Structure 1
């Protein structure tokens, strides 16, 4: 749905917004202004965003009776832009790109403060991890050769935004490459890349596919490397669990950044409330769509520290998750 269409819908329901307030009752929902269908901005095929986004779009579609699906995009930065303008009603982003977009530092539209993309629900943490073919002999960051060809994911993605900076922080000299995760995995296997540096929820489908075909090294950070990165970037220490990949025999030391689903702030409150309820009320069903959803839990609402909340989402978490989202953090207040 485009921005103008959303604004038209908002105008229709504006007169009843104040009296509707909490529009969801036990037996009846006010569906004034609801769209006939919706699309979720995700990321590249082969990446976690596309699989995860397709999963929750299907769950919401079934629960609300509104046709929905996922769309391939450039990832978190582009999703912030598309949702802010209303070109897409929903998307997914990470805290770093969200903060940069709100500040007007999104490279897609420099200077534009993307404040009309609202937080909807917590998804999962995105670990940053490095993968190389075992045959390359690269088993640590220090082993990465000078001028290595490193694939950082789609241009503008969380990975592409932060991983090159992290590598520079660790003293790695590299040649930067971009592309979808599936393509980069194939290039690594074909010897066209030396390393792929992922920022994606685990297990990353492209890595799982890669390790099923060839021996790989999933490279962890040393304690010193981890400390250096967490001091310089908006990330936290994280261990990739050993059961994420058959290649791992023990947890791999990493860092991570939280992901959130986002909604255009002008979408009807009752619609977004219903979306959040469908996703957050049945974690087992979410996990069945993607294992990264093990962290898609109500108690992680407070991991959003930069975006205003959509009123419908804030109401759901305040009513159902014991949240205390301040009025100043809710869009329109």
Structure 2
């Protein structure tokens, strides 16, 4: 497999490795002792996906409902967000649950194997589905047909790459990897620079809807049995993208999914502020206009948490709401 990174991706790789290298080496976060702040940086994702606009709307809610100031910023995604929280460059972040779990164990390559343990779970927000998008004129009708293709597999620092690898390795696909942000990958697909784009995002995603208006594209389906087997081996779930999710779909698509979670620093976000943020989230769900907001439900707030620790403030809130804590 050959990998070609964009200049931005290469810079992101260097930045992530630098973040990990700057750690204190004992598993503690960047600050060591807690130094709480109300001036929060919220690490989101690329502008072409759901994390960035959702982070913007959540920032507005948190600023209006708490005493904190919240600045949301574009990032490469889950792994980068965890790295920024680890080093105190961000206090809030969005992350796939599988990436967060791997980061706790030092199993994220983009973080140079550094174990990240200074963050806590606030809430599961919505499921994120793997989309395997191909141009109709590429003659690709199955995942096996991707052999020899040039494929966008997610940005450096995103959680997409791990699931991309899991699927492509499972089917033993030999390919050239393009590491780039999801929005850029749709443009590259439209221009014929790549044959396929794999990305993990909430359903539906506007960028794909826009792409389909100018370019004939399809979503590849994973065999249901294969999806179940891969789900057993990783932090994934088999998932169905319904045919009415996108106008160009004619039938349901089977794929893998993870959960998008809101996380917060335990070094710099106090229990009281995390409690207020958790309360603000669920008290103001009706203010969220992005499609993924419809999936935010307090009854599902702990889906996918696994062994990831709850932030003490979120734990207090859920206890008061009689939400069973795993």
Measured against aligned partners, the alpha-carbon deviations of 1:89-148 in whole angstroms (never above 9, x if no partner) come to 10011121112111112224434321101101111111112001112222322332x310
- Note the 1:133-152 alignment, pairs <5 A: 133-144=135-146, 146-152=147-153
Deviations 1:237-268 (A, max 9, x none): 11112332111233321111112110001312
Q: 1:112 is matched with which residue?
A: 114
Whether the 8 Å CA contact 2:31–2:87 is kept in 1: the answer is no
Partner of 1:299: 299
2:241 aligns to what?
A: 240
Distance 1:66 1:96 in 2: 29
1:23 — aligned with what? none
Unaligned runs of 5+ in 2: 1-28
Match of 1:276 among 275, 278, 292: 278
* 1:124 lines up with 2:151 in the alignment: no
Normalised TM-score (structure 2): 0.84
Give, in whole Å, the separation in 2 of the partners of 1:156 and 1:162.
Answer: 13
Q: What is the deviation of 1:204?
A: 2.3
- Indicate how the Cα distance of structure 1 residues 241 and 60 shifts in structure 2: closer, same or farther if over 3 A, else same: farther
- 4+ runs deviating over 4 angstroms: 2-6
Residues 135 and 216, structure 2, Cα contact 8 Å, conserved in 1: yes
CA contact (8 A) 2:34 2:266 kept: no
**When the two structures are superposed, what TM-score results if normalisation uses the length of structure 1?**
0.83
**Superposition deviation, residue 7 in structure 1:** 3.4
Q: What CA distance in whole angstroms lies between the structure 2 residues aligned with 1:224 and 1:198?
A: 21
Deviations 1:219-248 (A, max 9, x none): 222223323322332211111123321112
Report the 3-state secondary structure (helix = DSSP H, G, I; strand = E; otherwise coil) of the residue aligned with 1:185.
helix
Matches within 5 A, 1:303-314: 303=303, 304-314=305-315
**Offset, 1:173:** 1.7
Evaluate the alpha carbon distance shift between residue 6 and residue 298 of structure 1 in structure 2; reply closer, same or farther with a 3 A threshold: farther
Are 1:253 and 2:280 matched, yes or no? no
Task: Write out aligned runs for 1:134-283 (5 A).
Answer: 134-144=136-146, 146-266=147-267, 267-283=269-285
Unaligned runs of 5+ in 1: 10-33, 327-333
Deviation of 1:3 after TM superposition, in Å, equals 5.5
Shift of residue 296, structure 1, vs aligned partner: 1.4
RMSD: 2.1
1:58 is displaced (CA, Å) by 1.7
Q: How many residues align?
A: 296
Kindly state the Cα deviation for residue 4 of structure 1 after the two structures are TM-superposed.
4.8
Q: Measure, in 2, the Cα distance between the counterparts of 1:209 and 1:243.
A: 16
Q: Which has the larger radius of gyration?
A: 1
1:100 equivalent in structure 2 = 102
